[in-house]
Chain A
Amino acid sequence: MRIYGLELLRGLTITLRHFVTSYMGGIFTVQYPEERLKPPERFRVLPVLIFDGKKEEQWKPETERCTACGICAKVCPPQCIWIVQGKDPATSKPVAKASEFFIDVDVCMNCGFCAEYCPFDAIKMDHNFELGGGERDKSHIFDINKLHVSTEYYAETHPKAWSEEQGRKKADADKKAAAAAMKNQMGSDPAGSDPNRVSV
């Protein structure tokens, strides 16, 4: 004789086992919003621009890292970045600063190319995902003011990348200092050794 339903009971033991183990090993559920998953450092949502400064400070053109080179806009797959290169108010010559910067977050695909290919560490991927709101026409076009966050904020969200960046910059500065010392010592400059050198 065949007894029906045994497999059903067997299946139910899975649920029972999960129920029991939840009292021993803790539950799998993350109780958002009281509790959150810690995002890994590389976690990416929307891009932000970085300025050198503290969190409470406001972004200023002097602290802006972006040089308006446009690589982020050029590498952006859905082309959601718009940049206006700044001009010197006195001479109206273009300067290496962005005067306007837009990201259409309703087109952005969070791919992270802009941050990956930025040569100046000026654009990075933010971790803030709590962005839901009741309106999109105005609030979903992020402008240069909305996009800027401080290096202090960035250092908190990306501690590893930040320390790597600091290390890299320090090494570069050391190299430069050494080269300058060498130059002074030798009295003549080794041609072409310094790419930043301005030829006269």
Chain B
Amino acid sequence: MRGTTRKSCRRSAKPVTLSFMTQSKVLFRPSEEEILEQEVKRHILITPWGGLLKMLDPLYNWGRRSSLWPLQFGLACCAIEMICTAASRFDIARFGAELFRASPRQADLMIVSGTVTKKMVPMIVRLYNQMPEPKYVISMGACASAGGPFKEGYNVVSGIDKFLPVDVYIPGCPPTPQALLHALITLQKKIDGQSIKTVRWYGKPEGEEVPVPLLGPDLVDVRRAEEIREKCASPEGQAKPVPLPVMIPAPKATPAQADGVSPAAAALSERINKALGEVVAAPSGNSLMIESSALPKVARYLQLQPDLALDYLSNLTCTDYQDCYEVVYHLFSTRRPGPAVTLKVQMPKEDPRVPSLMPLWPGADLQEREVWDLFGVRFDGHPNLKRVLMWEGFEGHPMRKDYLEPYYEAPDKIFPSRWKEGRHQRAEERTPFSDNVKYPAGFDPARWSAPKEGFASAPDTLVINLGPQHPSTHGVFRMQVRVDGERIVALEPVMGYMHRNHEKIAERNTWLMIFPYTDRLDYICSMGNNLGYAIAVEKLLGVKPTERAEYIRVIMAELTRIVNHFWATGFLLNDLGAFFTPALYAIEERELILDLFEMASGSRMMCNYMRFGGVAADLPEEFLPLCNSLVNNRLPKAIEQLDRYLTKNEIILNRCRGVGVLPRDAAIAYSAAGPVLRASGVEYDVRKAEPYSIYDRFDFKVPTFPEGDVYARYRIRIAEMWESLKILKQALKEIPNGEILAGKKLWNIRVPAGEAYGRVENPKGELGYYVVSDGTDHPYRYHVRAPSFINLTALGKMCEGHLIADVVAILGSIDIVLGETDR
């Protein structure tokens, strides 16, 4: 049939032209061919090739639009919303897109969900290249589209579309699951409009890949290598001079009798000097100034004195002052409650060095590496001092005050270019390379050779990389594992793939502006992050929140703990192979709590709800009844269900018991915090050890388990949820009416000069904020003690001797969030 049609088509072509030519002669008598043609047209359906293809298009498009398989790949906060979209409330399966594939070779949709960092973008491009055509890209959220709120950061790419072709952009930070579904529908509509004749993947030459960018002194787009070389050879490639941030002199050691010196600090320094027989310590405010060379001796003394028992190195960071670098140590005792003992060591600006505390506290490992990475302070005696958040070869130490990012505009916000004559200008337009990059003068990408990284090879062992794109690393985290057969000989965590310069940006922000950024640290627990920051700054401000605000804060913080532990338990089961079913039910309860957060604060995840002296807005009237019914009816049932079905499950028992054991002493020495510390038998909880807010009024226990294995870390979370429910019930019963903010609502706050370390027991462990104020409207130094980051220090120790498959379970039991790990 079809043959006939085509033949007649061809035959009829010639006579028609003839008939035109002979038209004047034979006017009204059509030729035989014309009659034949008309007959053919009348009785036989003629479809030209193009028409046939057009008929095929709906079918062709329907097939692709209805089976968009996303890559199981998440970058940051938006990925959490993406996971929620796949869970039962929004159910992406209704669109045929539920098959999240762990391998790019099976996926055809890449949802770039979150901040694209320079360290991660080579992997993203590689993943994209590995996806077979047809493939689509959804850029989810402001960060993926253009860098978002982190755009100004030194490790952030200004939009994934600089490297990959994007089909749909979703504004929002983060877009809600419904917004992602809307984008999916938009993409489906786009696919509906495509035609098999014009789609890009037919007739495309093989091997047409996006060139993978290079990590040089900064990110190098190799397609622009020649341009970069040329510009770097001339002054054109260097940034124009701009005003530097103002630096302040460091606080100095003072005589014990001086004003502002705490008697405790004075007494302790005197005791140290006496015991060690030399003058190595002096008080300075609330802290002790220690001679650099005597630091290990002093630390050892403080650790061993039975009445002090400062066995827990909680926080270690650095401040860049005008005249020196100052490394700060916050020490606590796990055996007695009380505030921190702060040690400080100052060192000159030229070649700053300090002895490493690794021999005393292996928990100093990652923190010392972070200080080296970001400040360039060397720790003598550290066995593995290399960069941790940025990559080896990166130019500069970015937390130094004189390090200016490519998009640096002014020393601190508020930028004058925004108001009165605020004509919109993209940050790209101000830089020599029209991008968030800068290179040293004379840099030539062709000559760049990257420094070697990784383990030294050893006979009979093999080095395996898990991550940064791996379905069970809970984000963009990488583990370098050396295995002997299936057994792990050594493991090293590699992070920084989501390092989005939280601290650097915060030091430019005003005090208030930091609140929404803290939401994006541990984005599962934004309320807890808000609370920690508020408490640290309230210490300096001397503000006491109102009674009602305190109760609201506690309610929110404990709801957050339940949210987090549901999530952590669900995803631990994911890692154990019970893929997504337990997580689905865990996420269901979480959704209901998120509804409460959204009702009170306006956002499911990025609550931005606390303010100095209170909270942003009072609870809406429907909040308390809903919260009460959730806390009294639904949540106990859900926790009970988790407990009943999981705790005695034979697979869980077999895979978790005796795996990843962290003994009690090691847990303390490795600075483990939160559930990881308590699962090793240490009864230490900031809510009891240094009660903040109004936790001293509630009756609750601190659950501990002595085993220190994955199973104990699972069970401690269930136990903590019960305790949180207990606190919630009390708080909901006692919550008073009244004001929700102490004092007036101010948008620009000046904080008195000084420094404070505020800490809260966040669901993942001790979350600390170290803030230094110079009396202006923005912090001089702002540091986050991130429990997810520091808990990873012990990961290598926990994994040694276990099987590769156990690594996944051990990591899941630590419960990390990359937003906080990398900050």
Contact = CB atoms under 8 A, between A and B. Distances in A.
A11 B645 contact: yes
Given A70-B420, A74-B414, A81-B422, A107 B748 contact: no
Contacts of A67: none
Contact of A134 (B91, B142, B190): B190
A31 B170 contact: no
A108 B516 CA distance: 11
A63 to B, nearest CB: 22
21 contacts: A18-B585, A28-B588, A29-B91, A32-B181, A33-B185, A37-B178, A42-B599, A45-B172, A75-B513, A77-B514, A82-B423, A82-B424, A100-B423, A106-B148, A109-B516, A110-B603, A113-B608, A116-B616, A132-B171, A134-B186, A141-B424
Interface string A151-171: 000000000000000000000
A46 interface: yes
Q: How large is the interface on A (under 10, 10 to 19, 20 to 34, 35 or more residues)?
A: 35 or more
A200 interface: no
Contacts of B168: 132-134
A28 B748 CA distance: 43
Contacts of A40: 595, 598-599, 602, 620
Nearest to A28: B88
A83 B574 CA distance: 48
A110 B78 CA distance: 13
B190 A74 contact: no
Nearest to A115: B602
Interface stretch (A51-59, A123-131, A173-181, A184-192): A123-131
A32 B178 contact: yes
A62 interface: no
A88 to B, nearest CB: 15
B602 A135 contact: no
Contacts of A105: 142, 171
B169 A132 contact: yes
A125 B171 contact: no
A136 B161 contact: yes
B422 to A, nearest CB: 4
A40 to B, nearest CB: 4
A162 B397 CA distance: 50
Contacts of A7: 648-651
A76 B747 CA distance: 10
A133 B186 contact: yes
Contact of A140 (B94, B145, B512, B650): B145
Contacts of B250: none
A111 B422 contact: no
Interface in A43-73: 43-46, 68, 70-71, 73
Interface in B406-428: 413-415, 417-426
A130 B182 contact: yes
Contacts of A4: 650
Contacts of A129: 172, 175-176, 178-179, 182
B149 interface: yes
Contacts of A75: 510, 512-513, 747-748
A79 interface: yes
A36 interface: yes
Contact of A110 (B90, B173, B413, B588): B173
A120 B578 CA distance: 53
A194 interface: no
B407 to A, nearest CB: 11
A85 B418 CA distance: 11
B503 interface: no
Interface in B609-651: 616-617, 620, 641, 645, 648-651
A75 B414 CA distance: 8
Given A132-B168, A140-B171, A83 B517 contact: no
Contacts of B91: 29
B5 interface: no
Q: How large is the interface on B (under 10, 10 to 19, 20 to 34, 35 or more residues)?
A: 35 or more
B169 A133 contact: yes
Contacts of B183: 132
Contacts of A37: 178
Contact of B173 (A41, A83, A109, A116): A109
A132 B186 contact: yes
Contacts of B420: 68, 70, 83-85, 94
Interface string B150-192: 1110000001010000111111110110110111011000100
B585 A14 contact: yes
A8 B651 CA distance: 9
A28 B584 CA distance: 11
Given A77-B517, A134-B186, A109 B148 contact: yes
Contact of A43 (B150, B515, B598): B598
Interface in B122-166: 138-139, 142, 145-152, 159, 161, 166
Q: Which 6 A-B pairs have the closest CB atoms?
A: A106-B146, A132-B183, A82-B422, A111-B516, A70-B419, A42-B602
B171 A106 contact: yes
Contacts of A110: 172-173, 603, 606
A28 B179 contact: no
B600 interface: yes
Contacts of A42: 598-602, 617, 620
A42 to B, nearest CB: 4
B390 to A, nearest CB: 22
**B152, B418, B585, B602 interface centre (most CB from chain A within 10 Å):** B602
A30 interface: yes
Contacts of B142: 105-109
Given A79-B418, A85-B420, A113-B516, A130 B179 contact: yes
B641 A33 contact: no
Nearest to A17: B641
B581 interface: yes
A102 B423 CA distance: 8
A197 interface: no
B89 interface: yes
Contacts of A135: 169
Given A68-B420, A105-B171, A113-B516, 6 more contacts: A33-B181, A74-B414, A108-B171, A109-B149, A117-B745, A130-B182
A104 interface: yes
A14 B646 CA distance: 11
A81 B418 contact: yes
B283 to A, nearest CB: 37
A136 B145 contact: yes
Nearest to A130: B182
Nearest to B152: A78
B501 interface: no
B779 to A, nearest CB: 13
Given A75-B512, A107-B146, A136 B645 contact: no
B509 interface: yes
A148 to B, nearest CB: 16
Contacts of B581: 11, 15
Nearest to A22: B88
A15 B149 CA distance: 41
Nearest to A80: B149
**B91, B148, B512 interface centre (most CB from chain A within 10 Å):** B148
B442 to A, nearest CB: 33
A93 interface: no
A176 B602 CA distance: 34
A36 B178 CA distance: 8
Nearest to B588: A28
A104 B424 contact: yes
B94 A31 contact: yes
Nearest to A75: B747
Nearest to A136: B169
B602 A134 contact: no
A138 to B, nearest CB: 12
B608 to A, nearest CB: 5
Contacts of B161: 136
A157 B620 CA distance: 16
A34 B702 CA distance: 46
A139 to B, nearest CB: 9
Contacts of B170: 131-132
